[in-house]
């Protein structure tokens, strides 16, 4: 049976909770695609992914599905993960402000744009798990889970905190981040870290579902 080992781990009742959860993933690149894979293989049935990009050759070092260079990411992933829902949409602040996040139990933010991440946090912080900087690193032992206000060593987290303070936003939400210092100036990346961040996001989502938080 496909999910036999998941049921042995979680128990029948908890596995039902996973099957009934509604999860939205914003961005399915190096982090989001691994979060998708993990949730799908763990038995979550109602997953919606949102992305606007097409695969580029440079994505092939870290993104699931990226062998299909030139294809729309969400379309390709819908063939690899039958049954998921897709939204082919560019994410910007205006979109975040008008989108209805209410139907989802958990929102996973694996987007790249800082302004979008800030707006998502303001709108659905209670159900948010945000992935922060995963590029320019290769040491998975530096990955941590914390409140946005407790992060350290992550420039993106610091920028988001500063902008939230300016907006007088003081609510709490969960982030997955790395304290490893950047190893290059440009956006070099290693799937060891981008994938591990995505898998950690998935783990946090599963814990939240099972604990009913």
Contacts of residue 21, Cβ cutoff 8 Å, sequence gap at least 6: 44, 46, 105, 106, 205, 209
Could you tell me which CATH class the domain 4-204 is placed in? alpha beta
Q: Tens digits of per-residue pLDDT, 154-201?
A: 999 999 999 999 999 999 999 999 999 999 998 899 999 999 999 999
d(CA 68, CA 180): 31
Q: Tens digits of per-residue pLDDT, 26-71?
A: 999 999 999 999 999 999 999 999 999 999 999 999 999 999 999 9
38 token code pair: 């993990």
Calculate Rg over the CA atoms of the chain.
Answer: 16
Where exactly are the structural domains of the chain? 4-204
């Amino acid at each position: 049976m496909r999910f036999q080992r998941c049921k042995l781990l979680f128990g029948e009742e908890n596995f039902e909770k996973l099957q009934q959860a509604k999860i939205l993933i914003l961005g399915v690149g190096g982090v989001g695609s691994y979060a998708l894979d993990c949730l799908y293989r763990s038995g979550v049935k109602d997953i919606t992914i949102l992305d606007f990009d097409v695969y580029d050759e440079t994505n092939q070092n870290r993104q699931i599905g990226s062998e299909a260079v030139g294809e729309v990411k969400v379309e390709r992933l819908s063939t690899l993960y039958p049954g998921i829902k897709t939204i082919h949409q560019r994410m910007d602040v205006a979109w975040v402000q008008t989108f209805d996040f209410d139907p989802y139990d958990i929102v996973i933010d694996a987007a790249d744009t800082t302004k979008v991440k800030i707006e998502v946090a303001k709108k659905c912080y209670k159900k948010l798990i945000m992935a922060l900087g995963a590029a320019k690193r290769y040491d998975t032992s530096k990955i941590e889970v914390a409140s946005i206000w407790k992060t350290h060593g992550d420039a993106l987290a610091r920028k988001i905190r500063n902008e939230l303070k300016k907006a007088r936003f003081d609510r709490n939400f969960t982030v997955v981040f790395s304290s490893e210092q950047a190893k290059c100036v440009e956006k070099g990346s290693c799937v060891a870290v981008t994938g591990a961040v995505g898998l950690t996001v998935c783990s946090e989502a599963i814990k939240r579902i099972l604990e009913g938080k």
